[in-house]
Amino acid sequence: MIEYWDGPVLGIETSCDETSVGIVEGKRVLANVVSSQAQLHRKWGGIVPEAAARKHTEAILPVLETALEQAGLTLDQIAGIGVTNRPGLVGALSVGVSCAKALTYALEVPLVGVHHLEAHVLSTWIEHEPVFPNVCLLVSGGHTELFYVSEPGEYEFLGGTLDDAAGEAFDKSARALGLGYPGGPAIQKAAEGADPTRYDLPRGLSDPNLDFSFSGLKTAVLNLVRNEGAKLDVPSAAASFQETVASVLVDRAVYACEQTGARCLTVVGGVAANAALRRRLQEKADAQGLSVALPSLSLCTDNGAMIAHVASWRIARGERDGAEMRTVAVESLGRRMQEDGRREAKHQ
């Protein structure tokens, strides 16, 4: 059970390249409006921080108005406010945080700053009955991390990427294959109906493992493009890349369940929207007798509803932030034990 604040809570997300406002009442999503800047950043093949901040400034008020309309609410009916204040691009975060502070001041309702990764980790439980403990695999543009979640707010870091994040590998490989930005959806689309066994690509670290490495895979895709030239079967290269990433992610996540004894597995963040990953995960979890809970696609990529969801729970616990709330560029989530202690604790 997760206890929520009474009344509609508004969540603002501007940490990266999506301007989003969501409104939830308990677990009910009343609105979730996302304005993506993907089109803007496409021409550069990645996110340009100054351009992102400027675009957030333009988009935030129209997105807020649309969210209120979608929820059928007026501002004075909002009972609490949450905003992503960490981690993320500082200029981009500041836009959401300034907006949240102004609203809180005007409406005289509670405000909390939300950790973006915690919002992803708990996003599954907006639509599913919560199961704790669980293992959560967080896979986004900037993160690939495995957590043991004993209860909301208690995150034990089990392992993560030593180099590129899974989403980053999708984005960079898509660029190498000439498939555009953002890479995840582009690779998924190109791979449809193609042969995932056509090219043999490296899995990074050896199995079993709780850590990840995707830089070798990314380099292998670059080499493939260079060596094969016009002969390259791009759809099959995309499919081979996608299956390699999905298989590594699923194997590590299932291994994390074995190591911790958790019987429930959840995958969150932008890459969790990937269809091949979702299919593979369900198959392997079924075979191992594990339950799987996944957020629907609109809650996988960055969105305001997941921010509002965490805010509603944290405000109900009595947490409050004030006008002094700051933005933070880098902040990890959860406890990180020493490598040895961690493994010992898990092997006992």
Tell me which residues touch ligand KG4 (CB under 6 A).
16, 140-142, 167, 170-171, 182-185, 188, 269-271, 273-274, 301-302
In terms of CB distance, is 8 or 270 closer to ligand KG4?
Answer: 270
**Which of 32, 140, 236, 312 is close enough to bind Zn ion by CB under 5 A?**
140
- Residue 171 CA from chain centroid, whole number: 15
Least CB distance from residue 302 to ligand KG4, whole Å? 4
In terms of CB distance, is 159 or 269 closer to Zn ion?
Answer: 269
In terms of CB distance, is 168 or 302 closer to Zn ion?
Answer: 302
In terms of CB distance, is 134 or 140 closer to ligand KG4?
Answer: 140
**Strand, coil or helix: what is 88?**
coil
In terms of CB distance, is 40 or 73 closer to ligand KG4?
Answer: 40
Residue partners of 343: CB distance under 8 A and separation at least 6 = none
Q: Is 302 in the site for Zn ion (CB under 5 A)?
A: yes
Helix (H) or strand (E) holding 145: strand 144-151
User: What is the distance between the terminal CA atoms of the chain, rounded to a whole angstrom?
Assistant: 29
Q: Is 14 in the site for Zn ion (CB under 5 A)?
A: no
Residue partners of 204: CB distance under 8 A and separation at least 6 = 212, 213, 214, 215, 216, 217, 248
d(CA 236, CA 199): 7
Q: Quick one: what does residue 113 bind among ligand KG4, Zn ion, none, with the CB cut-off 5 to 8 Å set by partner type? A: none
* Closest listed residue to residue 300, CA positions, set 260, 332, 268: 268
Q: Is 168 in the site for Zn ion (CB under 5 A)?
A: no
Amino acid at 30: L
Query: Taking CB under 5 A as the criterion, which residues in 30-49 touch Zn ion?
Result: none
Least CB distance from residue 301 to ligand KG4, whole Å? 4
In terms of CB distance, is 92 or 237 closer to Zn ion?
Answer: 92
Q: Quick one: what does residue 273 bind among ligand KG4, Zn ion, none, with the CB cut-off 5 to 8 Å set by partner type? A: ligand KG4
d(CA 314, CA 4): 8
Angstrom distances, CA of residue 42 to CA of 15, 36, 93, 271? 18, 11, 21, 18
Residues making up the chain, counted from first to last: 348
Using an 8 Å Cβ cutoff, are 232 and 262 in contact? no
Query: Taking CB under 5 A as the criterion, which residues in 76-135 touch Zn ion?
Result: none
In terms of CB distance, is 302 or 321 closer to Zn ion?
Answer: 302
Using an 8 Å Cβ cutoff, are 144 and 160 in contact? yes
Least CB distance from residue 340 to ligand KG4, whole Å? 31
Region from 42-50, 63-71, 278-286, 296-304 binding Zn ion, contact rule CB under 5 A:
296-304
Least CB distance from residue 168 to ligand KG4, whole Å? 6
d(CA 161, CA 145): 7
Give the residues lining the site for Zn ion (CB under 5 A). 140, 302
